């Protein structure tokens, strides 16, 4: 049942809550006032809940808006959570657009007790600025030891402009799984004498990679009557492709110089990168259709046997086709590797951009009459024990503990492989993904049983070959001008100039021509207020770092 905030004749603590919500006039733009109200509310509940580890005899019911899942909270995992925490969850989920429903609830004041919101959307800031979420800092300090210990500096990176935390990140922490790479076929690497290094997951220099592409073209000018393609890419994922080349040079989101954040094209290494890609193109080593390849064309080419290398994520379609044709143990598969620019340490490459702040935020609303019980509930879910319950299901049913290690049962793995959606619905494993931490548990097993436990040989190899290339984008995210502002329009125009110039420079007929095109691009950026936009990036970054450092020092 949804909690309604009413405006008269209630106990003092409820009146405080009412003030928070009706204060789309009084507190709608004052999260600090919501903080005071939440503290009072938590205190009034403390006497009844007593910060003990024992769950109440009678479960309390909390409403939770989940933008992802609308199933009833009745599966085995849900029942175990209720038994362990004394909390039963009534799930709310829209049939249409989640943000539209969330905005409607915010305007009407018809709020759930807990809301899971995409933290990257404007809706999250609306809930915080509108006073709909209570601050969590005092609750975490008093009642949530697991959250405090396991979230670490994620909490500091997630503070609002007033220095307080209003939500708990979901799918937080750096994902250890590889992101981007230069993918090369293992059978060709073995044929050209690189088999031992390739199997060990060693990195390759740009010159070695160039040599391999040339050798492939020379030895296999045609495959099955069609011209070979030493390297191709999927043009539908161009940011990923450009990012993979930037990763060779260790480039990140911005070029940092003298305390300023500037557009990455100002980095001298960017011009080096363009000339390298252009060299691949002019020698006929890069697919002539690299800039227009659609996903279907890309899949057909990589699965044809005509391609040696590509950039981006794992080449799933081609590898699946090769296994179907040649057997599961075939070496005719694309594997992930680091390729490094001159002078770049393989450990300083940036193939794995990830945000440690995750996808969603889980917040407690001002409508919640049980903030202490709620934070304890969330603390259990965030714990090591809670994570395995959520993601693996119940002990004894889906898995057992053997010598301190979580071991899934064979029948669970078989059921999961046959129909993971059905397995999840029946057992509850991975049905509720709240407060999830990326990575591995304390025993080294993946929290994500369904998608993390079983890895094929390509993905196992990538864990080794791409190790050390992940980096946290969190402090660089969303530093630009406010959406819809004149500066935002200037920023978009600058990005369009950069994108168009990238393609044009790759297609250039000579390196000298590239130099001229690059200078023209920089002049166009400056003519479109690039310095002003960089000033905004720098100022916003400074504010963010000040907030982060202040939160870390507390």
For the chain, the domains span 36-174+361-433, 181-350, 486-553
3-state secondary structure 411-462: HHHHHHHHCHHHHHHHHCCCCCCCCCECCECCCCCECCHHHHHCCCHHHHHH
Query: Rounded to an integer, what distance in angstroms lies between the CA atom of residue 152 and that of residue 150?
Result: 6
Residue by residue, DSSP assigns 31-58 as HHHHHHHHHHHHHHHHHHHTT-SSPPSS
Looking at residue 93, its pLDDT comes to 79
370's tokens: 């049980």
Q: How far apart are CA 159 and CA 32, in angstroms?
A: 13
pLDDT along the chain (554 residues), means of 10: 36 33 39 47 44 63 91 95 97 86 95 95 94 98 98 97 97 91 98 98 98 98 96 96 97 96 98 98 97 96 97 94 96 98 97 95 98 98 98 97 96 93 95 94 93 88 95 95 94 97 96 96 97 98 96 91
181-350 maps to which CATH number?
A: 3.40.190.10
Taking the alpha carbons of 401, 402, 405, 411 in that order, is the dihedral positive or negative?
negative
Q: Considering only CA atoms, which of 435, 431, 437 is closest in space to residue 375?
A: 435
Task: Return the pLDDT at 140.
Answer: 98
β-strands 222-223, 352-354 pairing: unpaired
List of E strands, 56-164: 60-66, 87-92, 114-118
Which alpha helices (DSSP H) does 468-529 contain, by range?
486-506, 511-527
36-174+361-433 and 181-350 agree in CATH topology = yes
Q: Residue 298 has what pLDDT? A: 97
Q: What is the predicted pLDDT for the residue at 55?
A: 52
Phi/psi-derived region of residue 404, left when phi > 0, alpha when psi is between -120 and 50, beta in every other case: left
Q: Please give the pLDDT value at position 94.
A: 74
CA-CA distance, 76 to 238, in Å (whole number)?
A: 43
Confidence at residue 450, expressed as pLDDT on a 0 to 100 scale: 87
Say whether domain 36-174+361-433 belongs to CATH 3.40.190.10: yes
Query: Could you tell me if 376 and 85 are in contact, meaning their C-beta atoms sit under 8 angstroms apart?
Result: yes
Q: Name the 3-class secondary structure at 362.
A: strand
């Amino acid at each position: 049942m949804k909690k309604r905030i009413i405006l008269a004749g209630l106990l003092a603590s409820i009146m405080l809550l009412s003030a928070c919500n009706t204060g789309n006039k009084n507190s709608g733009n004052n999260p600090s006032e919501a903080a005071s109200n939440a503290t009072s509310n938590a205190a009034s509940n403390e006497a009844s809940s007593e910060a003990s580890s024992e769950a109440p005899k009678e479960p309390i019911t909390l409403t939770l808006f989940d933008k992802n899942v609308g199933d009833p909270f009745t599966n085995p995992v849900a029942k175990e959570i209720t038994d362990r925490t004394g909390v039963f969850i009534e799930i709310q989920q829209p049939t249409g657009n989640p943000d539209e429903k969330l905005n409607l609830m915010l305007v009407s004041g018809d709020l759930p007790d807990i809301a899971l919101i995409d933290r990257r959307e404007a809706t999250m800031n609306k809930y915080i600025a509108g006073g709909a979420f209570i601050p969590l800092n005092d609750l975490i300090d008093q009642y949530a030891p697991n959250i405090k210990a396991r979230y670490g500096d994620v909490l500091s990176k997630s503070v609002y402009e007033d220095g307080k935390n209003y939500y708990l990140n979901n799918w937080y922490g750096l994902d250890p799984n590889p992101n981007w790479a230069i993918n090369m076929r293992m059978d060709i690497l073995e044929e050209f004498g690189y088999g031992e290094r390739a199997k060990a997951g060693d990195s390759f220099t740009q010159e070695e990679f160039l040599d391999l592409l040339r050798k492939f073209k020379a030895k296999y000018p045609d495959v099955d009557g069609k011209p070979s393609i030493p390297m191709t890419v999927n043009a539908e994922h161009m940011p990923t492709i450009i990012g993979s080349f930037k990763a060779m040079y260790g480039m990140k989101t911005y070029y940092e110089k003298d305390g300023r954040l500037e557009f990455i094209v100002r980095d001298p290494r960017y011009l080096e990168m363009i000339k390298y890609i252009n060299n691949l193109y002019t020698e006929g080593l890069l697919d002539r259709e690299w800039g227009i390849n659609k996903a279907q064309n890309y899949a057909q080419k990589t699965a044809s046997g005509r391609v040696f290398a590509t950039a981006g994520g794992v080449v799933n379609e081609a590898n699946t086709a090769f296994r179907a044709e040649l057997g599961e143990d075939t070496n005719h598969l694309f594997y992930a590797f680091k390729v490094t620019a001159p002078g770049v340490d393989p450990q300083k490459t940036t193939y794995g951009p990830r945000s440690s702040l995750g996808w969603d935020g889980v917040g407690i609303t001002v409508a919640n009459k049980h903030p202490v019980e709620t934070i304890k509930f969330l603390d259990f879910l965030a714990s090591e024990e809670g994570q395995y319950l959520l993601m693996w299901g119940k002990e004894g049913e889906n898995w057992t503990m053997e010598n301190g290690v979580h071991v899934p049962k064979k029948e669970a793995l078989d059921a999961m492989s046959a129909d993971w959606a059905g397995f999840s619905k029946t057992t509850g494993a991975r049905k509720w993904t709240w407060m999830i931490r990326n990575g591995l548990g304390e025993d080294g097993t993946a929290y994500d049983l369904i998608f993390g436990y079983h890895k094929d040989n390509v993905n196992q190899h990538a864990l080794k070959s791409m190790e050390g290339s992940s980096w946290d984008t969190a402090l660089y995210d969303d530093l630009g001008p406010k959406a819809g502002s004149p500066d935002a329009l200037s920023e978009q125009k600058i990005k369009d100039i950069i994108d168009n110039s990238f393609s044009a420079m790759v297609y250039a007929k000579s390196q000298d021509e590239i130099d001229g095109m690059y200078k023209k691009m920089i002049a166009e950026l400056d003519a479109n207020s690039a310095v002003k936009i960089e000033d905004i990036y720098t100022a916003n970054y400074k504010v963010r770092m000040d907030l982060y450092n202040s939160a870390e020092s507390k």
